């Protein structure tokens, strides 16, 4: 078994609050006198038995972060943990819904996140970009309000826009106005689909939201025509295998569709989604993929190079990432 910790990795699908280290959440909750009963299990991990309980715990964890300095500390901690697992570039989803969409609050909050990202970059060399996301179960009106707020504040590292949350409510087309406005403002688009929604949710994300990437998308493997389409269009999936197993999309990693997706020529990347919720990190994702699918350096190099191509960052940043991979001896697979 290889130690994959130092292998250079890119992570395109990571939720800021979903990556919050439990000790930080416990500390802030204690300082603020917040009730965390039910958030943690007996072992001190986040309670998350299924998608519904995951979303509930996630929203309660999010309420702990309320001041700009909370977000600075969270961003620095999350990116430091990424860097400790060999991640050289990360795209982080932001959904500070507990703040509401007041532009003044967002300006302060984003400035603090930028500061945390600066600190992590200076200390560890990790580069970050930010993707604010609408929350599907909060509905299309909130998505439009959110989009207006995001367009009105300093952009900083924000380069994309997306949607997360409960795929079992609303339809992608309901969010088309928000996505269209953000695309016109120069934000690049991704959407969670094909996780708890089936094949149709992936088609709808492509057709109705005009996304460039799909968050998860793994259920596309259930439809041969869709696989052909994804491969032909070069669509990139942000797969998160550990998340899918933890939330019960697949009973175990051996049943996961990633092998079938790759065999069909679909471009895949690997990320952790909400690592402490799913007891994972990027090193263990690679270790498990090696153990289960006999993946190795060539496949992991493909994940990294696919992620560079699909990253929502400037060409100069991509050139630096390619140089980093080349210098580290990552095959040009
Ligand atoms: N928000 C955070 N993680 C998510 C996931 N895996 N699916 C949908 N929404 C999410
Ligand atoms: Zn996600």
Task: Yes or no: say if 143 and 163 are a contact pair by the CB < 8 Å rule.
Answer: yes
**80 alpha carbon to ligand 1 midpoint, in Å?**
21
Output the CA–CA distances (angstroms, integers) from residue 263 to 80, 161, 228, 258, in the order listed.
Answer: 34, 29, 11, 8
Q: What is the pLDDT of residue 100?
A: 84
CB-neighbour burial class of residue 327 (10 A; exposed 0-12, middle 13-18, buried 19+): exposed
Catalytic residue annotation: 195
331 C-alpha vs ligand 2 centroid, how far in Å? 28
> Which residue out of 247, 274, 275, 277 has the highest number of ligand 1 atoms within 8 Å of its CB and is therefore the one to mutate?
274
Residue 65's pLDDT is what?
Answer: 95
pLDDT of residue 237: 98
Report whether residue 195 contacts ligand 1, using a CB cutoff of 6 Å. yes
What is the whole-number distance in angstroms between the Cα of residue 244 and the centre of ligand 2? 10
Q: Read off φ and ψ for residue 89, nearest 5 degrees.
A: -150, 130
Task: Compute CA distances 258 → 42, 127, 161, 174, 208, whole Å.
Answer: 33, 26, 25, 29, 25
Distance between Cα 18 and ligand 1 center (Å): 8
User: Residue 249: nearest ligand to its CA?
Assistant: 1
Residue 9 structure tokens: 């990795």
The tens place of each residue's pLDDT in the chain, 333 residues long, gives 899 999 999 999 999 999 999 999 999 999 999 999 999 999 999 999 899 999 999 999 999 999 999 999 999 999 999 999 999 999 999 997 777 899 999 999 999 999 999 999 999 999 999 999 999 999 999 999 999 999 999 999 999 999 999 999 999 999 999 999 999 999 999 999 999 999 999 999 999 999 999 999 999 999 999 999 999 999 999 999 999 999 999 999 999 999 999 999 999 999 999 999 999 999 999 999 999 999 999 999 999 999 999 999 999 999 999 999 999 999 997
The reply to whether the predicted model has a pTM over 0.95 is: yes
Q: Which atom of ligand 1 is nearest to the CA of 135?
A: 9
Q: Which atom of ligand 1 is nearest to the CA of 15?
A: 2
Phi-psi region of 262 (alpha: psi -120 to 50; beta: other; left: phi over 0): alpha
Q: Residue 266: which of 208, 313, 219 has the closest Cα?
A: 219
Ligand 1 pocket, residue 164 CB under 6 Å = yes
Which ligand 1 atom sits closest to the C-alpha of 247?
A: 6
| Ligand 1 binding pocket mutation candidate from 17, 52, 54 (most atoms within 8 A of CB) | 54
Nearest-CA residue for ligand 1 atom 9 is 165
CA nearest neighbour of 271 among 219, 215, 196: 215
Distance (angstroms) between ligand 1 centre and the Cα of 330 equals 30
193-213 core/surface letters (b: 16 or more CB in 10 A; e: else)? bbbbbebebbbbbbebbebbb
pLDDT reported for residue 333? 79
Q: What is the pLDDT of residue 1?
A: 84
Query: Is ligand 1 within 6 A of the CB of residue 17?
Result: no
Check pocket membership of 192 for ligand 1, CB cut-off 6 A.
yes
Q: What is the pLDDT of residue 133?
A: 97
Position 99 scores a pLDDT of 77
**18 C-beta closer than 6 A to ligand 1:** yes
Are the beta carbons of 239 and 258 closer than 8 angstroms?
yes
Kindly identify the ligand whose nearest atom is closest to the C-alpha of 54.
1
């Amino acid at each position: 078994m290889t130690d994959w910790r130092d292998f250079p990795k890119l992570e395109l699908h990571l939720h800021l609050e979903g990556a919050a280290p439990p000790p930080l959440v416990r500390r802030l909750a204690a300082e603020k006198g917040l009730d965390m009963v039910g958030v943690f299990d007996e072992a001190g991990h986040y309670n998350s038995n299924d998608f519904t309980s995951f979303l509930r715990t996630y929203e309660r964890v999010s309420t702990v972060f309320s001041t700009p300095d909370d977000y600075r500390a969270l961003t620095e901690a999350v990116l430091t943990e990424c860097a400790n697992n060999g991640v050289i570039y990360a795209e982080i989803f932001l959904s500070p819904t507990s703040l509401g969409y007041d532009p003044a609050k967002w300006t302060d909050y984003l400035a603090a996140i930028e500061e945390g990202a600066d600190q992590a970059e200076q200390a560890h060399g990790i580069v970050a970009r930010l993707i604010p996301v609408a929350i599907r179960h909060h509905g299309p009106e909130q998505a439009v309000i959110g989009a207006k707020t995001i367009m009105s504040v300093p952009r900083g590292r924000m380069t994309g826009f997306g949607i997360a949350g409960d795929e079992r409510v609303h339809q992608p087309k309901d969010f088309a106005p928000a996505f269209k406005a953000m695309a016109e403002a120069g934000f690049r688009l991704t959407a969670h689909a094909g996780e708890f929604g089936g094949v149709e949710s992936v088609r709808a994300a492509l057709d109705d939201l005009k996304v460039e990437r799909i968050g998860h998308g793994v259920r596309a493997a259930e439809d041969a025509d869709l696989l052909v389409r994804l491969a032909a269009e070069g669509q990139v999936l942000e797969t998160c295998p550990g998340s899918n197993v933890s939330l019960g999309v697949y009973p175990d990693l051996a049943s996961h569709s990633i092998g079938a997706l790759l065999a069909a020529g679909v471009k895949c990347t690997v990320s952790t989604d909400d690592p402490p919720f799913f007891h994972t990190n990027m090193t263990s994702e690679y270790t498990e993929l090696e153990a289960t699918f006999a993946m190795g350096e060539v496949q992991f190099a493909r994940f990294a190079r696919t992620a560079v191509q699909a990253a929502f960052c400037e060409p100069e940043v991509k050139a630096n990432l390619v140089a980093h991979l080349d210098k580290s001896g990552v095959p040009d697979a």
